[in-house]
Amino acid sequence: MNKIKEAEQYKNQSFEEIKHIDVDGSEYWYARELMNVLGYKDWRYFDAVIEKAKIACKNSKLTDIDHFVVNNKMVEIGSGAKREQKDYRLTRYACYLIAQNANPRLKIVALAQTYFAVQTRKQEISEKEYSMLTEDEKRFYQRDLTRKGNYSLNQTAKKAGVKNFDKFHNSGYKGLYNGETADDIAKRKGLRYREDILDNMGSEELAANLFRITQTESRLKRDKVNTENKACDTHNKIGKIVREAIKQAGRNHARRLAYSTKKFKTIRKRK
């Protein structure tokens, strides 16, 4: 198996499992989580790698603080005492530079170099193309992502013990839509019976739901959830977090989520 195929296979494990997505749909990784995946045991040595990566970033005429965002946390050290722990929020490009400067004797580092190189290039193209899309085209693009995201979420939820998927998905909707179920949302949008609410959302609303979907899947895996009730509770909490994040960003987007009534199928027929 060549490095690219090996990296593609591995992406569904470690690198993708520690990936986070913010409310705007941007991907990021935490340095301490990446450190563990790359096999580093001591932060001092990994921090030195990060510093080399930051220099490489500057040498590429890019602003390092845009890719290596300080994200220090307070952690307990015993007896109720806490201290600040250094960490970074990293872009995909930052992860690529870190992999390039990491210990090449570690097998996982070679995989990381290939994975982040390939994925960074894919993302650069994707973002550039996305910015040039019309709103209708963005809706098609985001709808495809939510469809794939829901499929992956369902697989993870099944492993977590979920059997009643209507209950599970409604838990997420209720968190994001302030107590509304999928049926409530459909009625408010004036949809016909069994018409998919995701087919009747604008690109921003779809992006918010994609964020809910991906973060729920990540949390189910990270917390090793193994009961249906816990999975539903997790989905609901993530929905509320996404809603609150949108409000914190200073938007009325959480309130406007339901106001896209333009039919997705109508767009499809016209294209």
Q: Render pLDDT for 11-48 as a digit per residue (tens, 0 to 9).
A: 445 777 888 888 767 789 999 999 999 989 999 999 99
Q: How far is CA 155 from CA 150, 160, 196, in A?
A: 9, 9, 20
Dihedral, CA atoms, 29, 237, 138, 22, nearest 10 degrees? -20
Range with top average pLDDT, 21-35, 55-69, 153-167, 196-210 = 153-167
Say if CB 56 and CB 64 are below 8 A apart: no
| pLDDT tens digits for range 171-221 | 999 999 999 999 999 999 999 888 899 999 998 899 899 999 999 998 999
| Integer Cα distance of 171 and 153 in angstroms | 13
For residue 83, what are the β-bridge partners? Answer: 75
Q: With pLDDT > 90 as the criterion, what percentage of the chain qualifies?
A: 43
Query: Does the structure show a pLDDT above 80 at 115?
Result: no
| pLDDT of amino acid 268 | 44
